[in-house]
Structure 1
Amino acid sequence: MAESLFTGLKVIDCASWIAGPAAATMLSDFGAEVIKIEPPGAGDPWRASQPIPGKTVDYYWQLTSRNKRSLALDLKHAEGLAVLRRLAASADVFITNFPLPVRERLGMAPADLTPLNPRLIYASFTAYGEAGEEAAKTGFDSTAYWARTGLMDMVRADEATVPSRSMPGMGDHPSATGLYAAIVSALYRREKTGLGGVVRSSLLQNGLWANGCAVQTRLFGEDVALRPHRDDAPNALANHYRSRDGRWFIMALFNEQRQLRSFLGAIGREELTDEPRFATPASRKQHARELVIVLDEIFSRRDLAEWRTILDGVGITFGIVATVNDALDDPQMRHSGALAPFGDGQGLTVMTPFHIDGVDKIPPARAPSVGQHNEAVLLGAGYSAADVERLRGLGVVA
């Protein structure tokens, strides 16, 4: 493994599905050694979440389990738990999102593991937090992050439109970033004190943070209305429009006083600057629907590629409403490091969304098969070859 910021950091990924494992993936991108604990047999249930019927390639798994080593371990077996405890005794970080009652029943709660290793950082992730009547309740990002926090209700075209479903992992990956931040903060504290500790995060908290602008407004006693349909947008210059070839883009022209004349000149309608309905911010707001109609007609005359050149030419902030195919073919995705090639040179993967000057991420390695590294992990933990064979015979490891 290439040297990087966290080279030598030992992480146990004893979590399932996305948010917890994705936080471990972020650590692995900077060189951490991550041991993925999963049940023997089918392994982590996230492996079976295939986006395309009939396909056997574990696309999602490759994203959130790259760089890791897999240990297929039966934690319901006393000897399996003993293996986990031995690993935790020498680890730096332990990540889990098992339901709280399951942790207690298996003997892997903070009170069970942190006494084994005073430097251990126990990273706990839940759906709804760890206090209150719903602390033990299970949840996914679609239910706890997206639906429960008001995002699902508010992110729709208008009040007549049904609430929008989230994409797979849409709440989990941002939540993983929050958990990663908690872990790194604890690592910083450990550098100062020598002690580890417990850090916690949840889908509910991260979802509320994502919807923080609306929720904070409501906390101050103001009603928060659903956004109107784009035809009735209160600001026609911060709205989305469709080009001649059917492609959508969204503008964010907020510095109207400085940019309005050059914008209208670029689209061939500079005379609208002096049109009474559109001459001032107040009048443009009052006549926003009329301006939307005017701009709809103008933007329908050219293809998106032409409008991109025109709007870029006068410094207008806008963004195309991209498809997934656009992302694959977007050179800026690669220039920015958002996409990077796997270490074997076969294909690309989505990378951790930040960079540190002078610190390289490791070349991403393919995700492991179930139990691929059983022997190497156990031998590295001090078990003998005979011990490994005995654990195999007991069914403790696959």
Structure 2
Amino acid sequence: MLMTDTIKAATAAELPPLGQHEPPLQGVRVLDLSRVLAAPFCAMMLADLGAEVIKVEHPKGGDQTRHWGTAIQGGERTYYLAINRTKQSIAIDFSKPEGAELVKALARESDVLVENYMLGALDRYGLGYEALCAENPRLIYCSVSGYGRTGPSAQRPGYDSVIQAESGIMSITGEPDGEPSKAGVPICDITAGMYATQAILAAIVRRLRNGHGEAIDIALFDCTLANHTSVAANALLLDHAPGRYGNSHADIIPQGMYHASDGPIMFHVGSDAQFARFCSDVLDMPALAADPRFVDNDGRRANRDVLDELMSKRLKTRSRQDWIPLFRRAGVPAGVVQNVLEALRSDESKARDMVCEIDHPTAGRINLVNSPLKMRESTLAPPAAPPLLGEHTDRILEGRLKLDAAAIAGLRAAGIVG
């Protein structure tokens, strides 16, 4: 059985200088102890930026998302594939002491650890911040949870749909006379992952200055409150709970989805000058811009129903193919309403390289959404297939922890690794 002193202890090394067009996080080592969406999304962003990301999963079943969504050729499922590209997978049962020692050894030579377990769960295995920081003071330890590591709900599990309800997002989403509605994507999870990435990058910069690691506490609830931005300002400064405006906007008029003769279009008029061009150059109704009721945004907001009726009647007289060029020439933001597949296959998506083709070991050649990050002096890591469960176990144990084949075989026979 593996003993602690057989594992090579190491600390995260100083990062070497980068050459031009190398990924900015090349040389950064990330230990990903997370599952489902928010924290794995964060770890995937770090992998896109060039970090070496090792995803630790239980040998039996792995990340829950390996069993969510639709299975494609080879048995892998869509949900897992969406948020785990360019990672390595090691299968370790760290509920067993020998498995916990393996994770500790990996943490000793990691720069960043990302986790989203329930409060106190990792402490039971000696994998909490205090224990790991004592062995690697440079470790940046990022915890992502529903409600944070402090506060009355710190012990509660947090899921995107419930956070959407509790944070107020649902109360402002949907039609004015309809039911509250959640967003079509898990927006709380996604933005929490983005905030976590931002905090980790800041902690890396801080460590370059003082040499010390950091404990980061990211809560889905907090992040979603922050996402309210101007809506929150209206609520706090006016002491009034905002309502739902459907596809329109609480403050900026006109904005919304309107129907041409052959389908919906969406446009946004962001200033009085744009409104004047919209009326004269798009609608061919210049008198509308001079109407005292609509001459400024405050007036348009007070008379939104009247304006909406006039615009709607006019827009139904022509096709989308007729209207969109007029919007473009007038400099008024507008577009047709597309479904997700149309958007992914659009000219804009192709020009921005937003879909990548990846060779997968069981599914063959697959298409996935690419990273949206674009930089002039740096490149991103080439997108690689999301790993099979335990696909890199032997490589990591041999290369990182210097275990020989006999030791790895013993661990596998004992069910500690997979």
Question: With structure 1 as the length reference, what TM-score do the two structures score?
Answer: 0.91
- Range that drifts further, 336-345 or 179-188: 336-345
- Structure 2 SS opposite 1:298: helix
Query: Partner residue of 1:102?
Result: 121
Structure 1 residue 282 displacement after superposition: 5.7
Give the whole-Å Cα distance in 1 for the aligned partners of 2:126 and 2:302.
63
The reply on whether 1:317 has 2:333 as its aligned counterpart is yes
- Range that drifts further, 272-281 or 199-208: 272-281
Query: Partner residue of 2:165?
Result: 147
Give the whole-Å Cα distance in 2 for the aligned partners of 1:179 and 1:163.
28
Q: Report the AA paired with residue 188 of structure 2.
A: G
The reply on whether 1:368 has 2:387 as its aligned counterpart is yes
- Structure 2 SS opposite 1:367: coil
Q: Report the AA paired with residue 32 of structure 1.
A: A
Give the whole-Å Cα distance in 2 for the aligned partners of 1:138 and 1:353.
30
Q: How does 1:233-312 map to 2 (within 5 A)?
A: 237-247=254-264, 249-257=265-273, 259-261=275-277, 263-275=279-291, 278=294, 284-312=300-328
Structure 1 residue 4 displacement after superposition: 1.6
Query: Partner residue of 1:42?
Result: 61
Structure 1 residue 362 displacement after superposition: 1.7
The reply on whether 1:164 has 2:184 as its aligned counterpart is no
The reply on whether 1:333 has 2:353 as its aligned counterpart is no
Q: Report the AA paired with residue 292 of structure 1.
A: D
Structure 1 residue 357 displacement after superposition: 2.1
- Structure 2 SS opposite 1:100: coil
Structure 1 residues without counterparts, runs of 5 or longer: none
Is the 1:214–1:224 Cα contact (8 Å) retained in structure 2?
no
Query: Partner residue of 1:357?
Result: 376
CA gap of 1:121–1:333, structure 2 versus 1, over 3 A, is same
Residues 108-161 of structure 1, C-alpha deviations (whole Å, 9 max, x = no match):
1101211111111111111101112211110112112x1211001111111x31
CA gap of 1:126–1:228, structure 2 versus 1, over 3 A, is closer
Query: Partner residue of 2:11?
Result: none
Give the whole-Å Cα distance in 2 for the aligned partners of 1:84 and 1:283.
62
Is the 1:128–1:204 Cα contact (8 Å) retained in structure 2?
yes
CA gap of 1:67–1:290, structure 2 versus 1, over 3 A, is same
- Identity across matched positions, percent: 27
Give the whole-Å Cα distance in 1 for the aligned partners of 2:238 and 2:67.
45
CA gap of 1:325–1:303, structure 2 versus 1, over 3 A, is farther
Structure 2 residues without counterparts, runs of 5 or longer: 1-20
Question: With structure 2 as the length reference, what TM-score do the two structures score?
Answer: 0.87
The reply on whether 1:200 has 2:234 as its aligned counterpart is no
Give the whole-Å Cα distance in 2 for the aligned partners of 1:285 and 1:139.
37
Residues 24-74 of structure 1, C-alpha deviations (whole Å, 9 max, x = no match):
111111211111101112111011111589994412212211111111110
CA gap of 1:56–1:294, structure 2 versus 1, over 3 A, is farther
Is the 1:155–1:164 Cα contact (8 Å) retained in structure 2?
yes
- Structure 2 SS opposite 1:61: helix
- Structure 2 SS opposite 1:101: coil
- Structure 2 SS opposite 1:290: helix
Is the 1:157–1:228 Cα contact (8 Å) retained in structure 2?
yes
Residues 165-207 of structure 1, C-alpha deviations (whole Å, 9 max, x = no match):
3334322121111000111111101111112121121101111
Structure 1 residue 257 displacement after superposition: 3.5
Q: Report the AA paired with residue 237 of structure 1.
A: P
The reply on whether 1:176 has 2:176 as its aligned counterpart is no
Query: Partner residue of 1:4?
Result: 23
Is the 2:252–2:297 Cα contact (8 Å) retained in structure 1?
no
Give the whole-Å Cα distance in 2 for the aligned partners of 1:22 and 1:238.
32
Structure 1 residue 283 displacement after superposition: 5.2
Structure 1 residue 355 displacement after superposition: 2.5
Give the whole-Å Cα distance in 2 for the aligned partners of 1:264 and 1:242.
19
CA gap of 1:385–1:178, structure 2 versus 1, over 3 A, is same
CA gap of 1:189–1:343, structure 2 versus 1, over 3 A, is farther
Residues 218-265 of structure 1, C-alpha deviations (whole Å, 9 max, x = no match):
333521330346699886522321122222x33221222454145433
Is the 1:175–1:203 Cα contact (8 Å) retained in structure 2?
yes
Q: Report the AA paired with residue 131 of structure 1.
A: T
- Structure 1 SS opposite 2:375: coil
Is the 1:340–1:349 Cα contact (8 Å) retained in structure 2?
yes
CA gap of 1:218–1:69, structure 2 versus 1, over 3 A, is same
**Aligned CA-pair RMSD:** 2.6
CA gap of 1:292–1:5, structure 2 versus 1, over 3 A, is same
